[in-house]
Amino acid sequence: MKKTYEYYILPVVLPLLLVFLWIYLTERELIAPYLIPSPKTVIHTIVQFIEDGTLLQDSWASVKRMLQGFSLAVFFGLLFGVLMGLFARVDQFFAGILNAIRVIPPLAWIPIIILWFGIGETSKVIIIFKSAFFPILLNTIQGIEGVPKGFLEVSKLMGVSKRRTLFNVIFPAALPSIFVGLRLGLGAAWMAVVAAELIASDSGLGYRITQGRELSQPDAMIIGMIMIGIIGVAMDAVIKFIQQRILSWQAGIKS
């Protein structure tokens, strides 16, 4: 009984309170409607967006971009991460430049990316890629480097081939860290979507937000933000689920 209370009721209390506060403030007009639109307006606009398909279109446009950037990041992040984690020379070769690129935030890269790649989809995907790449890279390297030396010794002693050691010992041992990287990368990619869509978009949730700003439509802004939040949480939940399945052998730590 008590578990139900904690699990289902507690998390809902605060959001509900906030919603009531929102309704109260806007009904009593304590806050100007151009700063915070009333729930009625927002719901009305959401319905409109659903009916004319903008909600779906925008959501899909953003998710699609994000997936493109993210999959590139996963591919290159894992590739470089594994190579740099396994071979010190590769690590030393790339580490300097990659680090320099990493510390410059995606937003600062936008002007030059636009200059080189224009204002089309390519630029947007690049920004998303850049945001997701580094968490994946760093956590993969860490995962590989963090494989307990004891495991490698066992493998060595047993005369196990390098290939099997890589696939049956190193990768599984590194997998928890790699998953951390994937989750962080996913979050970063999604957050980068808004930044990416500042570049001359005509679709997407980030675009919807900036459009709302330019056309004095705070309801559109809020809807955009809500959708970004919902989709972001959903995607994280999916990855978390996958992680728990694959890493089930890690269970027993949190019970």
Partner 1 sequence: MGKSSKKKSFIFFIAIFALLTACSSNNTSTNKNAETENHSNAGVEEKGKTLRLGYINSTGNKDKDKPAVSGAEGWALNKGFLQEELKKIGITNIEYFSFPNGPNLNEAMASGEIDVGILGDTPALLARSSGQKTRLIGFANIFQDIWLVTNKKNGVSSLEELKGKTVATSNGSYMFRYLTGLLEENNLLEDVKIVHLLPPEAAAALERGDIQAYAFPTYMGPKHVKLGFPLLHQASKTTPHLTGTSVTIASEKFLEQNPEFLSVWTDTRERAVKDLKEHQEEFYQYVAEVTKQDLDVVKESLPLNNIREENFPKEGLELLEGTKKFLVKQGLIKKDFAIKDWMLKDQ
Partner 2 sequence: MPIKENVQFQVAKPKIKITNLSKSFNQGKNTLNVLDDINLEVQEGEFLTIVGSSGCGKSTLLRIIAGLDSSFEGTIAIDNQNIKGIRADIGMVFQDHRLFPWMTVKQNIAFGLEKVPASEREKLVNEYIELVGLKGFEKARPGELSGGMSQRVALARTLVKKPSIILLDEPFGALDALTRIQMQYEILRIREQANVTMILVTHDIDEAVLLGDRVIVMSKKPGRIQKTISVYLSRPRDRNSRDFVKIREKILNLFFDTNVSLNKSQEKISLEG
Q: Does 41 bind partner 1 (CB under 8 A)?
A: yes
**Cα(217)–Cα(46) distance, rounded to whole angstroms?**
13
- Please give, one letter per residue, the 3-state secondary structure of 12-48: HHHHHHHHHHHHHHHHCCCCCCCCCCCHHHHHHHHHH
**Cα(144)–Cα(147) distance, rounded to whole angstroms?**
6
| Minimum CB–partner distance for residue 32 and partner 1 (Å) | 6
Cα dist. 26→11, 38, 212, 217, 226 in Å? 24, 5, 19, 16, 18
Q: Does 120 bind partner 1 (CB under 8 A)?
A: yes
DSSP 147: S
Which x/- pattern over 9-38 shows residues binding partner 1 (rule: CB under 8 A)? Answer: -----------------------xxxx-x-
| Minimum CB–partner distance for residue 27 and partner 1 (Å) | 14
Q: Count Cβ atoms within 10 A of the Cβ of residue 58 and give its class: 0-12 exposed, 13-18 middle, 19 or more buried.
A: buried
Q: Count Cβ atoms within 10 A of the Cβ of residue 206 and give its class: 0-12 exposed, 13-18 middle, 19 or more buried.
A: buried
Q: Does 251 bind partner 2 (CB under 8 A)?
A: yes
104 is written with which tokens? 């410059």
Q: Does 148 bind partner 2 (CB under 8 A)?
A: yes
Contact with partner 1 (CB under 8 A): which of 69, 206, 218, 224? 218
| Minimum CB–partner distance for residue 19 and partner 1 (Å) | 21
In the complex with partner 2, the residue whose CB is nearer, 161 or 244, is 161
According to CB under 8 A, which residues from 84 to 123 bind partner 2? none
Q: Does 119 bind partner 1 (CB under 8 A)?
A: yes
According to CB under 8 A, which residues from 156 to 175 bind partner 2? 156-161, 164, 168-169, 172-173, 175
In this structure, how many other beta carbons lie within 10 angstroms of the beta carbon of residue 47?
11
Query: Where along the sequence are the contacts to partner 1 (CB under 8 A)?
Result: 32-35, 37, 41, 45, 114-115, 118-120, 200-202, 210-211, 213-218
Query: Where along the sequence are the contacts to partner 2 (CB under 8 A)?
Result: 148, 150-151, 153-154, 156-161, 164, 168-169, 172-173, 175, 249-252
